[in-house]
Copies of this chain bind each other. A is one copy, B any other.
Amino acid sequence: MRTTDEQAVGESWIRDHVQSLERGLAVICCLGTSKEMTLTQVAEATAITRAAARRFLLTLERLGYVGRTDRGYRLLPRTLELGYAYLSSQELPQIAQPYLQQLASELDESCGVSVLDQDAILYIARVTVSRLVGANLRAGSTLPAYCTAAGRILLAALGPSELANYLKRAKLEPRAPHTITDPKVLAGEIEVARTQGWYLIDQEIEHGIRSVAMPIRDTSGKTIAAVNVSSYSTRVSLTQLHRKFLPRIRQTVEKIEAELHSHR
């Protein structure tokens, strides 16, 4: 049984929540999962009626976000402007991009800057040099936090109760030879990431893929994002990751932090 307080919150939630906006955004996200979708597919994927799905699609079509195909509907490039709205309002992606480009070109490996978005890391900047490792990752892409180097760095910045809640709810699925799936072992590794100030992950997200990450901190020392470089185990040894990659990532973080802090 709900208390009066909970009821009040529930009622205010319903009064203030714009369900049409939530559903419209869900239609955009669902259209992103395929090159084109029929009305029926959109309605099923978003769990809304065909009639309502049709209204959202027509509205998005009129606004220039969605186009008609022979078989149904597809997203139009204008959708990118919604994502760009975030990038253009933020300093960090703008500041980080050229340093990342330099890092990627010096190490000849893909790298990125990510932040925590619920239980995932979300890239806010990304440079890909290889077509093989994570070539499909870019700003806006997400990966699970528990099995990525950047994820462990970002989880290490959570407060004790936030982290405990994460460890309780996270689904730790085995994705590669070394994926940690025991919450207690994971908690220990997150502690390693916190005390070390960097983290190396070896074949936990995909067979053969290694990644090193370090935190970007604000002037108060709070971790606000993570830089990571990823590579193949057949191309770069663990020794090289430590001796060559780590110092270069550290320099990149220092440059980004210096510019970021000078803006304050």
A residues whose Cβ falls under 8 Å from a Cβ of B: 13, 16-18, 20-25, 28-29, 31-35, 54-56, 58-60, 62-65, 74-91, 94, 97-98, 101, 105, 115, 117-118, 122-124, 128-129, 131, 135-136, 138-142
Tallying the copies of this chain within the complex gives 2
Q: Are the CB atoms of B77 and A117 closer together than 8 Å? A: yes
Q: How far is the CB of A124 from chain B (nearest CB, A)?
A: 5
Q: CA separation between A115 and B63, bound complex, in Å? A: 17
- Residues in B with CB closer than 8 Å to A97 are 128, 135, 138
Given contacts A18-B59, A78-B122, A80-B139, whether A85 and B29 have CB atoms under 8 Å apart is yes
Q: Are the CB atoms of B135 and A98 closer together than 8 Å? A: yes
Given contacts A16-B55, A139-B139, whether A86 and B94 have CB atoms under 8 Å apart is no
Q: Are the CB atoms of B75 and A79 closer together than 8 Å? A: no
Q: How far is the CB of A110 from chain B (nearest CB, A)?
A: 10
Q: How far is the CB of A14 from chain B (nearest CB, A)?
A: 11
- Residues in B with CB closer than 8 Å to A91 are 35
- Residues in B with CB closer than 8 Å to A28 are 82, 85
- Ordered by A's residue number, 26 sampled pairs between the chains whose C-beta atoms are within 8 Å are A13-B62, A17-B55, A17-B59, A18-B55, A18-B59, A21-B21, A24-B24, A29-B81, A29-B85, A32-B84, A32-B86, A32-B89, A33-B89, A34-B89, A64-B117, A77-B86, A77-B122, A77-B124, A78-B117, A79-B85, A80-B83, A80-B123, A84-B139, A87-B138, A98-B131, A98-B135
